[in-house]
Amino acid sequence: MLIKKIVFAAAMLAPAMALGEAAAHLDHAGTDIHNDASLQRGARNFVNYCLGCHSAQYVRWNRVAADLGIGEAELERNLMFTGGKSYDTIKSAMPRAQATEWFGVAPPDLSLIARSRGTDYIYTFLRTFYADPSRPAGVNNLVLPNTAMPHVLADLQGVQTPRVELVTREGATEEHIVGLTGGSPGTLSGEEYDEFVRDTVNFLDYIGEPVKAKRQSMGVWVVLFLLVFWLFTYLLKKEYWKDIH
């Protein structure tokens, strides 16, 4: 009976593991939500390059401004191009119905995307667009094959071309993409582009849980308090028991 169960479990696991292997390798994002300068740059990138299609409807502008140390006037001048009031949530400039009509699929709200997909995923996603004339937007993506999202950062990164190798498996020869190389160049160098994406992903990580930085720094104080409290409790216990032993 037990053996049967183990064999069953192994049979279930094998395809899952094969899938995991086939999935694109994710690069480490290396983001840091305590880095306010990076978050401010990320907010600017997000507004300039993502807000045209995506919203962040669980986040309010004034919350972002307060957390990132941006003044009200600066907020309205540099970030709130779509207008509205500082207590509004971050809405996309594009109506949902129109976006769905254009892309065939609505661009998802990005408030919680870093929590659902992970920062490494988004970091790799934004860096692995490549030229593919067979796609409607002329590009494809290593992490999300056949994505409906165009390469909106093509001006900055340029458009990479795939390095293809022929692989013969069970008599059939297939093309496999083994990597990407710089095709047409963009305005940023490779390193600058990675930094641009890192800041953007950092901002998405921050809006996924705006209290995270505070929660972490508070956690340190809580643990310190518990340690000091433990010391006093221990001394008190010694005091109570000293005549009994």
Kindly list the residues in this chain that would bind ligand HEC in the complex (CB under 6 A).
Answer: 49-50, 52-54, 103, 105, 107-108, 113, 117, 122, 125-126, 144, 147-150, 152-153, 200
User: By C-beta, is 80 or 144 nearer to ligand HEC?
Assistant: 144
Q: Shortest approach of ligand HEC to residue 52 CB, angstroms?
A: 4
Q: Which residues of 26-55 are buried (b: 16+ CB within 10 A; e: fewer)?
A: beebebebebeebbbbbbbbbbebbbebbb
User: By C-beta, is 148 or 213 nearer to ligand HEC?
Assistant: 148
Query: For residue 39, how far is the Cα from the chain centroid?
Result: 13
Residue 150: phi, psi to the nearest 5? -70, 165
Q: Shortest approach of ligand HEC to residue 159 CB, angstroms?
A: 15
User: By C-beta, is 23 or 236 nearer to ligand HEC?
Assistant: 23
Q: Shortest approach of ligand HEC to residue 231 CB, angstroms?
A: 47
HSE (CB half, 13 Å, CA atoms) of 104? 8
Q: Shortest approach of ligand HEC to residue 171 CB, angstroms?
A: 33
At residue 138, the 3 state secondary structure works out as coil
User: By C-beta, is 58 or 103 nearer to ligand HEC?
Assistant: 103
Show the tokens assigned to 43.
């907010």
Q: Shortest approach of ligand HEC to residue 212 CB, angstroms?
A: 19
Show the tokens assigned to 177.
């993409």
User: By C-beta, is 157 or 162 nearer to ligand HEC?
Assistant: 157
Contact (Cβ atoms closer than 8 angstroms) between residue 205 and residue 114: yes
Among candidate residues 86, 80, 31, 71, the one with its CA nearest the CA of residue 51 = 80
